[in-house]
């Protein structure tokens, strides 16, 4: 199998297999030859050490339009590196759960502002969720108390129920253990009169 290592974004030949050299960590098994486009010495060295035929092709040079002087180009590159550094610092802080305002970099500062807004929104949502959880817990407690109260008859009614059950027991009439007062009264009313 022949592999082509290139970080190109388009212009792929559907008959070839491509890999991005930026993600290279070791030679792949089953490779018979490798074409490396650009300057990727780690890819070249690893495959050559494995005894695989490697050919190198120079990558197309990208011309930056608008930067007519070397000094301007260096200024643009320097600004991009500073921006990248600021974003890396911001991302590094986020990875450990902190958000710090970067000292420079227009894009990094905009990203910080957006992340700050998101962080504040998440904080508000978390507070609302926690408040709702407390409310739900309180409501559950009230529902359980109401259920318990509904199953336990009032004290004076409990005496009446006991008296009705005693009359039914004396007449040897069967009834459910959890029968309501009304159903017990109905059974007692149906007892033969003496």
DSSP state of 79: H
What is the pLDDT confidence band of residue 47, given thresholds at 50, 70 and 90? Answer: very high
Q: How many whole angstroms separate alpha carbon 146 and alpha carbon 143?
A: 5
The per-residue pLDDT of the chain, averaged, comes to 85
Instruction: Identify each DSSP E strand in the chain by its residue range.
Output: 2-5, 17-19, 33-37, 53-57
Q: Any idea how long the chain is?
A: 194
pLDDT of residue 56: 94
Q: What is the mean pLDDT of residues 35-58?
A: 93
Poorest-pLDDT segment among 42-46, 68-72, 152-156, 183-187: 152-156
> For the residues of 101-152, what is the DSSP string, one character each?
--SS-HHHHHHHHHHHHHHHHHHHHHHHHHHHHHHHHHHHHHHHHHHHHHHS
pLDDT exceeds 90 at position 50? yes
- Tens-digit pLDDT profile for residues 172-184: 989 998 888 899 9
Helix (H) or strand (E) holding 75: helix 70-95
Query: For the whole prediction, is pTM greater than 0.85?
Result: no
Tally Cβ neighbours within 10 Å of residue 86: 20
- Tens-digit pLDDT profile for residues 118-131: 888 988 998 898 88
Higher pLDDT, 154 or 79: 79
pLDDT exceeds 60 at position 35? yes
């Amino acid at each position: 199998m022949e592999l082509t290592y290139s970080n190109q974004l388009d212009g792929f030949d559907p008959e070839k297999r491509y890999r991005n050299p930026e993600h290279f960590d070791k030679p792949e098994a089953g490779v018979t030859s490798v074409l490396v486009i650009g300057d990727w010495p780690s890819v070249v060295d690893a495959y050559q050490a494995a005894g695989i035929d490697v050919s190198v092709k120079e990558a197309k040079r990208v011309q930056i339009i608008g930067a007519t002087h070397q000094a301007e180009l260096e200024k643009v590159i320097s600004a991009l590196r500073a921006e990248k550094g600021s974003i890396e610092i911001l991302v590094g802080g986020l990875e450990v759960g902190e958000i710090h305002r970067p000292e420079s970099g227009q894009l990094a500062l905009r990203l910080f502002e957006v992340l700050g807004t998101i962080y504040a929104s998440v904080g508000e949502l978390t507070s609302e969720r926690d408040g709702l959880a407390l409310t739900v817990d309180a409501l559950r407690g009230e529902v359980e108390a109401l259920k318990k109260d509904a199953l336990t008859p009032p004290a004076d009614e409990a005496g009446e129920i006991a008296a009705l059950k005693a009359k039914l027991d004396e007449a040897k009439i069967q009834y459910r253990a959890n029968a309501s007062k009304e159903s017990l009264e109905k059974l007692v009313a149906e007892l033969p009169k003496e």
